[in-house]
Amino acid sequence: MIDKYHKFAIAPMIDWTDRHCRYFHRQLTRRALLYTEMVVADAIIHGDRDRLLAFDVAEHPVALQIGGSDPDKLAEATRIGVDFGYDEINLNVGCPSDRVQSGAFGACLMRDPALVQRCVTAMKSAARNVPVTVKCRIGVDEQQPETVLPDFAGQMRAGGADGLWVHARKAWLQGLSPKENRTIPPLDYPLVHALKATHPDWFIGINGGIAGIGEVRDHLKRMDGVMVGRKAYGEPAFLTAVDTLFGNKPSDPDWAAIIDAMMAYAARHIERGGRLSAVTRHMVGLFTGMPGARRWRQILSTEATRPDATPEIIAQAFEAVDRHAGETMPAFAVA
């Protein structure tokens, strides 16, 4: 069963949405569904599970995205993810990178929906009461999305998927890099809206190029959920308006409390042998569009990267913006 927190999700992003990023984002929004980076099923089964899957209880609700194409392995990885306490398990059928294609998973699986259906069925059998969803594109390469996407969605639903997240672009498996695949293929929001209209009682969320709370609200008139990636990471103050989507009253962010929480979190990370930069690299864009943001970025990009850097560096950087923080809010963060 899909819960209300699926109304807004922060997209899974390789090299970005690690546990430190997710903890930071949770300080900005209490209600958004957070996603891990994609973790390959083989790594979950045979790798260092604590390193790959452990998360802070504050991150809930949090979803685990898995990559793979072997139903048995995906079932086992799902069981492990459920045991770790994840609130949702998601199958990646949208990543177009060469590395992922070489493993026969990601977006290339849109060419074999019958296999994906078997994967979903196996994952559902292992998930107990935890929802299993799929994240896909509208098609790949020469496929015709108007035909391919409805058929794919129908097979996912028949396989037992609790919902579908659709990146409203094709993926080109040859000729475009993963970065280019996030921007060059044209968006087709109406196609995804039409898909949702044919499945009124099944969760379908939309992703791709969404850059403001106003846009999120517009999509929610037609969709069950909205997923945002690059905007949430590059300009995270955007997330401070997200909880208004769930009925919370608009309020000014308590920047000092957010900074205090991140300093305490960074201190715990350093005590475990980590480095400050593993945490602060996700915070660089926090004050984008606000007075003092440039100095904030400079300090976090230089001082915080020293091997002996301490959490006080975060406070030092905050001093550059603290006296201005109430004067200017980025327009995208206004509900």
Residues marked active site are found at 95
State yes or no: 167 annotated in a binding site: yes
State yes or no: 230 annotated in a binding site: yes
State yes or no: 214 annotated in a binding site: no
| Per-residue CA distances from 6 to 94, 115, 121, 233 (Å) | 19, 26, 21, 18
Question: How far, in Å, CA of 42 to CA of 289, rounded?
Answer: 42
State yes or no: 298 annotated in a binding site: no
State yes or no: 143 annotated in a binding site: no
Question: How far, in Å, CA of 208 to CA of 142, rounded?
Answer: 20
> Which phi and psi angles does 205 have, rounded to 5°?
-115, 160
State yes or no: 217 annotated in a binding site: no
H-helix segments, the chain: 19-28, 41-46, 49-53, 71-84, 98-102, 113-126, 145-158, 178-181, 189-198, 213-220, 230-234, 255-271, 276-280, 293-302, 312-322
**Which residues participate in the annotated binding site?**
65, 135, 167, 207-209, 229-230
